[in-house]
Amino acid sequence: MSDERDNRHGAHAEDDDTSAVARPSGKRSARRSRNADSGSVATIDRPTSGKAAKTDRAERKKTGNPFKRLIKFLREVVAELRKVIWPNRKQMVTYTSVVLVFVIFMVAFISGLDLAFIKGVNWLFG
């Protein structure tokens, strides 16, 4: 009886260790767990090859009304945009500043290399 308890406890301890590693923390994981509980997990079904792939392509071509496809596409876009975690104002200012500083640095660096190569070629071939 005590061996069964130890085995069960050991199995749960291993599961807890792996779940702690695999489960991310933060806002995203909470949102995923809510969606997973409601059963709205997004999956992509892709056919492997052969007849299944050919029939799937044929079915896609047979879908008629382009307006219905456009409306379906727009609904899917809106659904995906609802899943996005948008940055707040402070994060956006920080990210924009980092990108601008990096771009300015790279422009200065490449301009300096270009100037150095021009001077080197003029000195070499003068």
| pTM for the full predicted model | 0.41
Q: For residues 106 and 94, what is the distance between their CA atoms, to the nearest angstrom?
A: 18
Q: Which residue type occupies 1?
A: M
pLDDT, residue 64, reads 73
Residue 120: pLDDT above 80?
yes
Q: What is the rounded distance in angstroms from the CA atom of residue 94 to the CA atom of residue 100? A: 10
Average pLDDT, the chain: 75
Q: What is the mean pLDDT of residues 95-104?
A: 98
Of 66, 47, 67, which is closest to residue 57 (Cα–Cα)?
47
pLDDT for 14 equals 47
